[in-house]
Amino acid sequence: MIEQSEVNYNRIAEAISYIKQNFRDQPSLNEIAEKVHLSPFHFQRLFTDWVGVSPKKFLQYTSVEYAKQVLKNQETTLFDAAYETGLSGTGRLHDLFVKIEGMTPGEYKNEGERLSINYSFAESTFGKILVASTHKGICHMAFVEDENKAFNILQQKFPKAKFMQIVDRIQQNALFIFTKDWRKLDQIKLHLKGTEFQLKVWDTLLKIPMGGLTTYGTIAHSIQKPKASRAVGTAIGNNPVAFLIPCHRVIQSTGGFGQYHWGGTRKTIMIGWEAIKTSEN
């Protein structure tokens, strides 16, 4: 049976896609609501609950136009200028991360042997999510369509680890990102399985604040590998921690959003949602 939360997410995703494709025509509330088979009143309330702003305001800040404007204004200094466009204080996610720790060579080689991993499923602003943690930090976070399939993917990454379905404090701290209750947010640590190059790319992604965008090429330059844009793209695609490591903030130099491991529509929603939050602050 499909849960109501999944039905609602699909409706909001469909609405976002429609707005993205038709923003130049400025579709009305009634028109968008009709596309997702809801009354205007119900759609307005549901959209606002999920996205945080009304459909009309989201339309004003369509993510495509936002991305183009950012690229036009910041050009080649986009990555450095991103710091100036982000939220202050706790709104800048990279300030919340005090440590990104790679697994030891032994842990990496032994595929998680003797490693205990807690995991749980939760609802987030952008759909159901699986979050997993070791005693050192978050090791995996992924958006979920099928719980069994998502857990199997986690097991494949750490085939020799011991798994327990339990919510711990490390996971709770990470999930506060989605509830936006910054007062309850302690420092978040990440415990990641990756190569030295991947860890460097993922660490660089943490420096892109909410509302900021950058390009693959700019990240390659920032890690002093200007000819490694393709390798950077691969490392970004292998990001094991959705949203917390904000790979959704990396777009093509042309202004196109490019691919996203957890779906292009979800990436569109994230960028638009963050653009609105930034403009409000």
Annotated catalytic residue 139 = no
Q: What residues contact 190, with CB distance under 8 A and at least 6 apart?
A: 97, 99, 100, 101, 137, 138, 139, 202, 241, 244, 245
Summarize pLDDT for 106-161 with one digit per residue, the tens.
777 777 788 899 999 998 888 899 999 999 999 999 999 899 999 999 999 999 99
Q: Which of 32, 64, 247, 275 is catalytic?
A: 247
Q: What is the pLDDT of residues 186-227, one digit of tens each?
A: 678 899 988 889 999 998 898 887 778 888 988 998 888 888
Q: Which two tokens stand for residue 216?
A: 């693959």
pLDDT at residue 238 above 80? yes
Distance (Å, whole) CA 66 – CA 119: 35
- Determine the pLDDT at residue 176: 82
Lowest mean pLDDT among 14-18, 51-55, 90-94, 267-271: 90-94
Residue 104 has what DSSP assignment?
P
Is the model's pTM score more than 0.85?
Answer: no
- Local confidence band at 279 (pLDDT 50, 70, 90 cut-offs): low
